[in-house]
Amino acid sequence: MTGRVVVVGSANVDLVVDVPRPPKAGETILGGRLRRSPGGKGANQAVAAAWAGGADTTFVGALGEDEAADLILVSLGGAGVRTDLVERADAPTGTAFVTVSPDGENAIVVAPGANDHVRIGAAQAERIAEADVVLAQLEIPLDVVAAAAAAARPDAVLILNAAPSRELPDSLWEVVDLLVVNEHEAADLAGEPELLLKRVPAVVVTLGGEGCAVLRRDQEPVRVPGIRVDAVDTTGAGDTFCGVLAAGLAQGLDLPDAARLASAAGALAVTRPGAQEAVPTAVEVAALAVGGKAR
């Protein structure tokens, strides 16, 4: 592994059920079998950075003292993620309730649980200070994201995946080097993606099956086309994208090239069910990024 990434974020156990269509308000529908798997934006992105991106990756998060925590730790460890700074909280491990429709689209509700207890202590701050890239999301308290940003060294890249969408304080805007959002999150934050460049130096807007757009101050936008695949489950695709993007930057790639790798990884992820189980290998990502065709 080369390049050091620290992911600060959430970890959940995902309870997933296939549905014929999303239920309407007040409606009960029958779904398929229930699947239980490791998830959470932070943990998913850490698995992607290590397994699909090949980076030396540490996950900073919090889990409960329950069997769900063990499920997540096994998944993280199996992907090569360092988990020595994951803390246990007096709360249940976070839980996500996920429905997946036949076209692969999902709807998710998260009960944060232990994710509300993530903290940046001395050991976490020391590891963050060693990282080339620090990656955070918004399924944990904003003050934790701010503390992680404060612990990063000046020449490190701070990536914020602003999901789920929420209002950000000026103090956080001022330290973000790269913002990763989808079209809906970009609209929530600024209306137009280009307006985000008034707040941060660079933005990557993910466009689902259409790829992504790379926006940087004083440079022409770069459009990374999507790769056509048959989608099975989109649950962890955005997280896979973010993790591989972080790994690519940590290993010295420029932003458009890292985004191309990340786009290929995200495309592969939607062809498989689950979140962390769907993360492809680094070899698969490299092959697809070069060939441009899913197998």
Which sequence positions are flagged as catalytic? Answer: 239
The whole-angstrom separation of Cα 77 and Cα 13 is 15
Q: Do 39 and 47 meet the contact criterion of CB atoms below 8 Å apart?
A: no
CA distance 42 to 180: 14
Tokens 């409960």 locate to 64
| 151 CB neighbour count, 10 Å cutoff | 21
Cβ-in-10-Å burial (0-12, 13-18, 19+) of 222 comes to middle
Answer yes or no: are the C-beta atoms of 74 and 22 closer than 8 Å: no
119: exposed, middle or buried (C-beta count within 10 Å: 0-12, 13-18, 19+)?
Answer: middle
